[in-house]
Amino acid sequence: MIITEITRNIHDEQIDKRLDLLAIEWYESTKRIQRLRTAEGMDIAVKLLGNTSCLQEGDILYEDEEKIVVVTIKPCEAIRVMAIDFLQTAFVSSEIGNKHLPLFVEANELLMPYERSMYEWLSRQGFDPQRCERQLLRPLNANVDPQHHQKMKFSTKNIPLFINDKTFMDS
C-alpha cells in the first residue's frame, strides 16, 4: 500500500471500524518517504510530497469495509520545562534552537527528547527540568517558507540610522 496524501484525521470523526495502529517514533513523523508496518502486519509505504509533509497523531492512512489504519506517535523519554514567563520561554527556546534540538509545545510546557547534556544545562540555568515519558506531538517550527523573502517588498536601505552614543560620535 502506497500512501501519497493524508486527507482525514480520526479526531475529527466517529469511527466504528477496527483500528490497525501504525505506531511511529516522533522523528519518523517528519520523514517524507519511508516504509512502515502496522500492528497487524500491513506494509505501508509513505511518500508525502507537496503540502502534506508530515504524519500527525490520528491521521487515517487507509480504510476498507473492516478496518482503518491510524497513525499513533509512541511516547518517549522527554525533558519537560514549564513555561514561566515570556522572557524565560524565549531564552530557553533560543538556546535549544541554537543547539539544533527539536522543541515541542504542549499547553504551557516546553518538551524535547531527553538528552543528558541538555537536561544538565537546564538544571544549571535554574529552569527545573523534569524527566518524563510523553508523546511529542506539536513541534515548534521556526522555519521560514523559502519563498517568504522573495515575497517581502520591505528593505532597510533607505532607513536612516541614528546613534546617540558618544563613543561612536567621538571616533
Residue spans per domain, the chain:
2-73, 76-134
- Residue 58, Ramachandran bin (φ over 0: left; ψ between -120 and 50: alpha; else beta): left
pLDDT computed for residue 97 by the predictor = 85
Q: What fold, for 76-134?
A: Alpha-Beta Plaits (3.30.70)
- How many other C-beta atoms are found inside a 10 Å radius of the C-beta of residue 64? 8
Query: Among residues 27, 19, 6, 129, which one has the least CA distance to residue 74?
Result: 27
- Assess contact for 22 and 70: CB atoms under 8 A: yes
pLDDT value at position 120?
94
Q: What is the pLDDT of residue 87?
A: 84
In this prediction, residue 148 carries a pLDDT of 52
Residue 165 pLDDT exceeds 60: no
Using pLDDT thresholds of 50, 70 and 90, give the confidence band for residue 168: very low
Percent of the chain with pLDDT over 70: 81
What is the DSSP annotation of 23-61? EE-GGGGG-SEEEEE-TT--EEEEE--TT-----TTEEE
Query: Is the pLDDT score of 6 beyond 60?
Result: yes
Compute the average pLDDT of residues 96-102: 87
pLDDT, tens only, 13-66:
888 899 999 999 999 998 989 999 999 999 999 998 876 678 999 999 998 899
What CATH code would you report for 2-73? Answer: 2.60.260.20
| pLDDT level of residue 3 (50, 70, 90 thresholds) | confident
| Residue 34, number of CB atoms within 10 A of its CB | 13
Instruction: Tell me the C-alpha distance between 129 and 120, whole Å.
Output: 9
Report residue 143's pLDDT band, with 50, 70 and 90 as the boundaries.
Answer: low
Does the pLDDT value for residue 83 go beyond 60? yes
Cα(74)–Cα(25) distance, rounded to whole angstroms?
A: 5
Could you give the CA distance from residue 151 to residue 143 in angstroms, rounded to a whole number?
16
Is-above-0.85 flag for pTM? no
Strands 67-73 and 18-24: parallel
**Which band of pLDDT confidence, cut at 50, 70 and 90, is reported for residue 167?**
very low
